[in-house]
Amino acid sequence: MEIPALFGAGRPVFSFEFFLPKAPADLSGFLASVRELKALRPDFVTLTYGAGGGSRDQTLNAAGRLQNELGIETACHLTCISHTRAEIAQLLDRINALGIRHLVALRGDQPKDGSALSAERRELPYAADLVTLVKRRGGFRMAVAGYPETHPDAASPQADIENLARKVRAGGDWVITQLFFDNRSYAGFVAKARAAGVSVPIVPGIMPVTGYAQLKRFTSLCGAKIPPEMERELERLQHDAAAVARFGVDYAVKQCRELLAAGAPGIHFFTLNKSHATAEILTRLRQAL
């Protein structure tokens, strides 16, 4: 199955993103959580990429288990900030040997372990360079990232849109956006991307709010904005964890329904490796379809 073909099937495409647990001992619990979400019949899942040596190997091994042991179509994140062209070629050989045919091609953030190549040593300085390399090699279909509220490192919103267009021209098959909470941001982003010649599906990335402090931390890192009315309600509820979780589910359901009604091709859920919130949201969405 090729993931890009799903977007022409006339129904919303639902996918989940997972991250590899930091402690290898937590892998069994992680796989159990994924098994729970498999019952929701996601069209595919993605697994974020640990760029460091040990975590890199663990990521690829876990992706292979999702694909082959759990039987879930898996797109493996791949970043280039820490790798030479030769290293990427070796990684692609390993990913291909696992039977994985889909990637999420990213530049990647600066690894905390300092393993990123210095600017003058980077053979693949941008995600578009990685996409070009993979496309020339062949054998993979790729998602690329989009930023409705502009990538923090972009020179300007227009420069960010132009960079997205370069990634798609290089071989990106579909776009997964960064998280956002105001659907107007997504609508404006899609309009600008289409005007720049981006014709591939642009899938909104949605993160269910499961904790107020966690939300503030994530949004500060990625530059996503919290709408004022959402901020006020979460400030009011922040000391009641159950109430925050309920609010997060209700907000995500409303947000996703509006996105799908407006023509979004599907929803990509940033699950944070938590099954309950994503399960409830997707169940409620499918009941309304």
Annotated active-site residue in 2, 17, 162, 280: 17
Say how far apart CA 107 and CA 117 lie, in whole Å: 12
In the residue annotation, 87 being an active-site residue is answered as no
- In which element (H, E) is residue 89 found? helix 85-97
Say how far apart CA 207 and CA 181 lie, in whole Å: 9
Are 145 and 177 in contact by the 8 Å Cβ rule? The answer is yes
Query: What is the torsional sign of CA 79, 81, 84, 85?
Result: positive
Q: Which has the closest alpha carbon to 37: 2, 12, 66?
A: 66
Are 225 and 182 in contact by the 8 Å Cβ rule? The answer is yes
- In which element (H, E) is residue 47 found? strand 44-47
Residues carrying an active site annotation: 17
